[in-house]
Structure 1
Amino acid sequence: MQMTTGEHWYLRVNYLYEGGNVVGCVYCNAPNITAFGPGLALRRSFQAAFKAVNDCKKCNKIVTFLRTFSPSHFEHGEWNTGGKCNRTRPIRPDEVDRARPDWEYRNIQVEVARDAGKEVIDVTEMMLTRFDGHPGLFWGNKWMKGYSDCTHWCMPGPVDTWNELLLETIKRHNRISS
């Protein structure tokens, strides 16, 4: 059984290859290379991963779940430009900014996972309300003092919810498979 995600890695410079040739990039601003948004890289990566699992003849006992996009909560900048995540309470659902790219990434993941016949553990919407679930400036990274960590979920609550959702999904899968 595997549960995977890693979407924030697509939000930095990435080069996209097909057949060993560069076909484009994300955030590279390189001459003579087609610029794509992170959504394309995310889509292609998940399509390739699910294809590999689905085509694997020795992997027929693998159950694959996908956890949807886990948003960061930087406000007033990003991790390296003064962004902070120092809220101490969840925000109300009506306070969620639904114009964020997080929705696009979540929708891509759900579409690709369902096309591949995989189960989705959808955490994006609920995690958009949990600005309080990050360690902020006090995360103790000795190499990056003073930076906020508004990406990792280290506070009690959010990840506990993910574990509960995963457990229920496993139970449901086992009931269906029996």
Structure 2
Amino acid sequence: MGSGSKALLLFRLSLFLLLLQHSPTQGEDLNANANSNRSRSLASNCNWFRGKWVYDSSYPLYNPSKCPFIEAEFDCQKYGRPDTNYLKYRWQPFSCSLPRFNGVYFLSKWRGKKIMFVGDSLSLNQFQSLTCMIQAWVPNSKISYIKRDGLTSVSFLDYNVEILLYRTPFLVDVVNERFGRVLKLDSIRGGDIWKGMDMLIFNTWHWWTHTGSSQPFDYIEDGGKTWKDMNRMIAFYKGLTTWARWVNRDVNPSKTKVFFQGISPTHYEGKDWNQPTQSCSAQTQPFFGMRYPAGTPMAWVVVKKVFSRIKKPVYLLDVTGLSQYRKDAHPSAYSGLRGGTDCSHWCLPGLPDTWNQILYAALFS
């Protein structure tokens, strides 16, 4: 057996053992083993990520028709979704309650600061959610809204708060070489743009699984070697490790708070919640069981493994478990952007608002 095969076998074995050692209850925080004096420990010793969805007639937190930042792919009400109950669910942790989001307080505390989301279209989902949540509190505030190729910014000018989105689906680089597009697992030159921010919220995962015509690279490179393809979970691990090295090397914790969005689940296969003939299409209620049948995604385990080696404070928004319950919260057919059924992204208002409520709790509790 060659050294490459041995390394692959050892990696798979280590992930398997890690999963056996840590079979989490639904929504359990990935950071349970982190040092208590680091910012990745849970605020006020409350686990925001374990709880249940409850109906709340006061929801949603904003009117989508009055938010200028929601794009067609997430605007489910505008594009004909007939039901509205999915808008009315609030996340209720078992051991505490999330603080009510206050956009004025958020802006006041982050006056003069820059916040950047970095990642793929799930980062776009969360970015648009946060800007809508804030804008609902200051509807008459002066706003600058700029969209460029790969970079979008919303500035609340009365508070000098700028919220940006930098689109990079892998975090690591994809480079056009003479022989094709190369995903470089050990290169993160795009990180220069992230420096100087006061808050960074990272995300990556979904694009690592794309194949065929939807795959945005032709080759994978790591350590000076190039492959036509490799096990995508291993590629994800290597790429995320490069990101972790960037955090350890280039983040100044006294200047910049760092968050990682976690693994956002999909609901294309109803067998994940014991309804094998269904998908997210026509789902109108969350999954209400205590334990999601599909269990923990392997990508979650990779994130945990990488996080165990990060020396700088990084707070994990461990949205996987609470989001797995929300099979009802996807655009499905009610998206203005594409045909087919979208069980990857989330309607707005909707689930990403809860991600931002937890972000708010982590910042201010």
TM range (shorter): 0.7 to 0.9
Describe how 1:58-73 pairs up with structure 2 within 5 A. Answer: 59-60=251-252, 61-73=255-267
Which has a greater percent of helix? 1
Alpha-carbon offset, residue 161 of structure 1: 0.8
| Corresponding residue for residue 96 of structure 1 | 292
How far, CA to CA, are the matches of 1:3 and 1:155 in structure 2? Answer: 19
Which has a greater percent of strand? 2
Q: Deviations over 1:22-67 (max 9, x none)?
A: 1462xxxxxxxxx41x2212211111012112112xx412221111
How far, CA to CA, are the matches of 1:125 and 1:22 in structure 2? Answer: 36
Which of 248, 251, 254 does residue 54 from structure 1 map onto?
A: 248
Structure 1 residues 76 and 125: CA distance shift in structure 2, 3 A: closer
Q: Deviations over 1:128-167 (max 9, x none)?
A: 10011111101012xx32x111111124331111001111
How far, CA to CA, are the matches of 1:76 and 1:55 in structure 2? Answer: 42
Letter of the 2:210 partner, please give it: R
Q: Secondary structure at the match of 1:93?
A: coil
Describe how 1:9-88 pairs up with structure 2 within 5 A. Answer: 9-13=207-211, 15-23=219-227, 25=229, 35-36=230-231, 38-56=232-250, 59-60=251-252, 61-75=255-269, 84-88=280-284
8 Å CA contact 1:66, 1:113 repeated in 2 = no
TM-score of the superposed pair, with normalisation by structure 1 = 0.73
Which of 316, 322, 330 does residue 120 from structure 1 map onto?
A: 316
How far, CA to CA, are the matches of 1:92 and 1:83 in structure 2? Answer: 16
| Corresponding residue for residue 7 of structure 1 | 205
8 Å CA contact 2:280, 2:330 repeated in 1 = no
| Corresponding residue for residue 32 of structure 1 | none
Which of 321, 331, 342 does residue 149 from structure 1 map onto?
A: 342
8 Å CA contact 2:330, 2:344 repeated in 1 = yes
Alpha-carbon offset, residue 87 of structure 1: 0.4
| Corresponding residue for residue 159 of structure 1 | 352
Q: Secondary structure at the match of 1:149?
A: coil
Structure 1 residues 40 and 130: CA distance shift in structure 2, 3 A: same
Higher relative CO (CA 8 A, sep ≥ 6), structure 1 or 2?
2
TM-score of the superposed pair, with normalisation by structure 2 = 0.38
Letter of the 1:49 partner, please give it: W
Q: Secondary structure at the match of 1:65?
A: strand
Q: What is the aligned length?
A: 151
Q: Secondary structure at the match of 2:259?
A: strand
8 Å CA contact 1:71, 1:127 repeated in 2 = yes
Alpha-carbon offset, residue 5 of structure 1: 1.0
Alpha-carbon offset, residue 103 of structure 1: 1.8
Q: Does 1:139 align with 2:335?
A: yes
Q: Secondary structure at the match of 1:22?
A: strand
Alpha-carbon offset, residue 75 of structure 1: 3.2
Alpha-carbon offset, residue 76 of structure 1: 6.4
| Corresponding residue for residue 114 of structure 2 | none
How far, CA to CA, are the matches of 1:51 and 1:17 in structure 2? Answer: 17
Letter of the 1:2 partner, please give it: L
Alpha-carbon offset, residue 171 of structure 1: 2.4
Q: Deviations over 1:89-112 (max 9, x none)?
A: 10123462335xx62111211231
Alpha-carbon offset, residue 20 of structure 1: 3.7
* Identity, % of aligned positions: 26
Larger radius of gyration between Structure 1 and Structure 2: 2
